[in-house]
Amino acid sequence: MPAEASTSRTPPPALTERQEARRRRILQASARLAGRGGFDAVQMREVAESSQVALGTLYRYFPSKVHLLVATMQDQLERMHGTLRRRPPAGDTAAERVAETLMRAFRALQREPHLADAMVRALTFADRGVSPEVDQVSRQTTAIILDAMGLAGDPTPEQLSAVRVIEHTWHSALITWLSGRASIAQVRIDIETACRLIDLPAPAGGRDRSAGRRPR
């Protein structure tokens, strides 16, 4: 779910422990409501009541429902990343590990289709005003893929290009599956096809730093 990073905004100040706890309650309430009834079930007043914060406070954290649901997706991906780090994917190649990683993430979303639909719809509706939140989702997705590739940092431009294509494919696969236009089997085929870009040889004259097997 790639997005261009916002360079014109000053990063928000770090949250205090109390503010972080309040933000956590808001995101949990958002996920609960979305999980029960999808995008339309997430009403800001209900989120405020469920998370025990004032409505005005909620809007200071998240100016709109779209901001809130995109942040909810980033939070869900961060949780998935933690699980994946505890149980790394198997596979002899980077492409196999990334495909397995994304399918595991996909299956986690599949278990809560209403929540998945709400978050993907929010990403689809997001405009420039939500770009910092969308960029957080993109960075989290990129981190998951690079981790599966076995790259601690400094990927080559060719690897980053492959990651962007894979992110686009994964996002598109989510949309087509949620709309009933693709089966799980087709989703896997599409993701595995895109992931093969990772194992293509580096261009002549370029840096050949293809990822090896993930260290255990």
- The answer on pLDDT for 47 being more than 70 is yes
Residue 194 lies in a domain: yes
Average pLDDT estimate for 28-33: 97
* Residue 110: strand, helix, or coil: helix
Distance separating alpha carbons of residues 56 and 212, to the nearest angstrom:
50
pTM of the model: 0.83
Mean pLDDT value across the chain: 87
Residue 81 lies in a domain: yes
Q: What angle do CA 72, 76, 81 make, to 5 degrees?
A: 145
Please give the pLDDT value at position 10.
Answer: 54
| Winning range, highest mean pLDDT, from 58-67, 84-93, 206-215 | 58-67
Residue span of the structural domain in which 139 resides = 65-199
CA distances (Å), 171 to each of 134, 146, 166, in order? 12, 17, 9
φ, ψ of residue 87 in degrees (nearest 5):
-130, 80
Number of structural domains found in the chain: 1
Residue 154 lies in a domain: yes
Average pLDDT estimate for 35-61: 96
Distance separating alpha carbons of residues 55 and 67, to the nearest angstrom:
15
- The answer on pLDDT for 14 being more than 70 is yes
- The answer on pLDDT for 216 being more than 50 is no
Q: Which of 55, 61, 49 is nearest to 18 (CA)?
A: 61
Distance separating alpha carbons of residues 100 and 55, to the nearest angstrom:
41
Residue 49 lies in a domain: no
CA distances (Å), 68 to each of 31, 60, 88, 126, 213, in order? 10, 11, 29, 11, 37
Average pLDDT estimate for 45-69: 97
124 in Cβ contact with 176 (< 8 Å): no
94 in Cβ contact with 210 (< 8 Å): yes
- The answer on pLDDT for 202 being more than 60 is yes
pLDDT per residue over 84-113, tens digit each? Answer: 999 999 889 999 999 999 999 999 989 999
Residue 95 lies in a domain: yes
- The answer on pLDDT for 77 being more than 80 is yes
Residue 100 lies in a domain: yes
Instruction: Let me know how long the chain is.
Output: 216
CATH assignment of the domain containing 194 = 1.10.357.10
Please give the pLDDT value at position 4.
Answer: 40
Residue 10 lies in a domain: no
Structure tokens at 29: 């309430």
pLDDT per residue over 157-194, tens digit each? Answer: 888 999 999 999 999 999 999 999 999 999 999 999 99
CA distances (Å), 139 to each of 78, 131, 204, 208, 210, in order? 10, 12, 29, 24, 20
Q: Among residues of the chain, what percentage have pLDDT more than 70?
A: 87
- The answer on pLDDT for 58 being more than 50 is yes
CA atoms within 13 A on the CB side of 213: 5
- The answer on pLDDT for 215 being more than 80 is no
Residue 6 lies in a domain: no
Please give the pLDDT value at position 2.
Answer: 44
